[in-house]
Structure 1
């Protein structure tokens, strides 16, 4: 058993989650893998045990099912070995908003929003009491870009970004590190699962490159990591513009442009 904190990773059966599992195991961490596909997680766990010696638990769960979500939340609350949560499980929907079934939209929100909040909420009090721990939330650049036309998916990822920023403000002074990772299009199975047309896919980042960049941000304790953004000054300018508006939010009278002139 490693003396480093164990890492619980959701959506760990493939793609970004499985790659995080590989990287953290090679860094000497034990793992708790969470996903629906138990067979794929067992195969991954067997390989990583053999290659790294990590102790790995497999927890099958569908995070849109309340009982499964509560089981994972309980593990996060009760298992003091877990010092890192990777909130990675997520999905997308194909087609425009007017073509998406309401039940599908609500299930997407349940996975991309409710589960993320519930699992962070389960572990944050324990981390805050200990004065240590890390929460990695996987968002998306789509959460910054309504122009991309993924209204519901983008809205869920905007929530992930805001939640991460809010938790960083609240928990950072108490020793808890919170990172939001904002990938662009990455070569994972999410495209097949959302019904995307393979001939219309954008250029894709390789998942290993994405996770390695995210972990470089993790190591430097970066609050927001955007692997495809080469000019970091653009994010700084975006943040600066947002923060420049904050004093105006305390005004008690409307801005002049909203006043009727007669």
Structure 2
């Protein structure tokens, strides 16, 4: 019998990451859990070992720190058992653009984009060589909705969507599956860390419902999974319009509407 691949999950100590850990453990997958809070990771790991009978390794890592990020990259490169990467670690934005500090901007972009990209890059060559594997990148609907605010956070999540789409084009011919999961507001600790009382928000999805929906998309091999979206044709229409635009922008000369008036 073929053994199930081990799943490495970042940001696994709480919220979406911890719920992914519970769900994959329930499916019989061994786990590698990475996050900053080792005590919470150890508690979760012990419970999953006892309840689900799976192997769970813990990696304490702050992915904004070069040494910690490098350690997780090494594990992804060297551990051939890992066949699924859940790129979940991320942080929100507290305040508007003009309230951001240089350090805060750097930390947010480093965690939400640089770390995510480097971890995918660490594991992708091995997946391509074995012609199997899956990379799941947790984005957000804010990534295509600047009207929702959080400009820097939204920009990082737009990056996650673009990267996932690009990786799908590059890696899927080699048998590697890439999924972008785009939640809307979800009841996790990201709000508290950003200084927002989640109880003041409307239409907040419970994390278990979010992850269960994301896994339905995973099993269907969807490229983009938007759990709150009822009408899938709306995303298809948006993506179709984007692709239709490509022929219009492949031009050697400027459009007539930009030519100087005589």
TM bucket (normalised to shorter chain) is: over 0.9
Name the structure 1 match of 2:160. Answer: 160
Could you say if the C-alpha distance between residues 109 and 219 of structure 1 is closer, same or farther in structure 2, counting changes exceeding 3 Å? same
Instruction: Give the superposition deviation at 1:100.
Output: 1.1
Distance (Å, rounded) in 1 between the aligned partners of 2:45 and 2:171: 32
Distance (Å, rounded) in 2 between the aligned partners of 1:148 and 1:112: 18
Question: Secondary structure, in 3 states, of the residue corresponding to 1:83?
Answer: strand
Instruction: Give the superposition deviation at 1:199.
Output: 5.4
Report whether the alignment pairs 1:47 with 2:44.
Answer: no
Aligned-pair Cα RMSD in Å? 0.9
- Summarize deviations over 1:83-131 as a string: whole Å, max 9, x none: 0000000001211000111110110000000000000000000000000
Could you say if the C-alpha distance between residues 54 and 115 of structure 1 is closer, same or farther in structure 2, counting changes exceeding 3 Å? same
**1:1-262 equivalence runs, <5 A:** 3-198=3-198, 200-262=200-262
Distance (Å, rounded) in 2 between the aligned partners of 1:167 and 1:107: 24
Q: Contact (CA 8 Å) 2:187, 2:204: kept in 1 or not?
A: yes
Distance (Å, rounded) in 2 between the aligned partners of 1:203 and 1:40: 28
Distance (Å, rounded) in 2 between the aligned partners of 1:76 and 1:118: 10
Task: Name which of structure 1's ranges 107-116 and 192-201 shifts more when overlaid on structure 2.
Answer: 192-201
Distance (Å, rounded) in 2 between the aligned partners of 1:33 and 1:163: 23
Q: Contact (CA 8 Å) 2:135, 2:178: kept in 1 or not?
A: yes
Q: What TM-score comes out, normalization by structure 2 length?
A: 0.98
Could you say if the C-alpha distance between residues 4 and 198 of structure 1 is closer, same or farther in structure 2, counting changes exceeding 3 Å? closer
Instruction: Give the superposition deviation at 1:197.
Output: 3.7
Runs of 4+ in 1 over 3 A off after TM superposition: 197-200
Distance (Å, rounded) in 2 between the aligned partners of 1:140 and 1:92: 11
Distance (Å, rounded) in 2 between the aligned partners of 1:109 and 1:90: 9
Instruction: Give the superposition deviation at 1:164.
Output: 0.3
Tell me how many residue pairs correspond in the alignment: 261
Distance (Å, rounded) in 1 between the aligned partners of 2:232 and 2:192: 31
Could you say if the C-alpha distance between residues 175 and 25 of structure 1 is closer, same or farther in structure 2, counting changes exceeding 3 Å? same
Instruction: Give the superposition deviation at 1:203.
Output: 2.0
Question: Secondary structure, in 3 states, of the residue corresponding to 1:86?
Answer: strand
Unaligned runs of 5+ in 1: none
Distance (Å, rounded) in 1 between the aligned partners of 2:198 and 2:25: 32
Instruction: Give the superposition deviation at 1:202.
Output: 3.1
Distance (Å, rounded) in 1 between the aligned partners of 2:141 and 2:239: 15
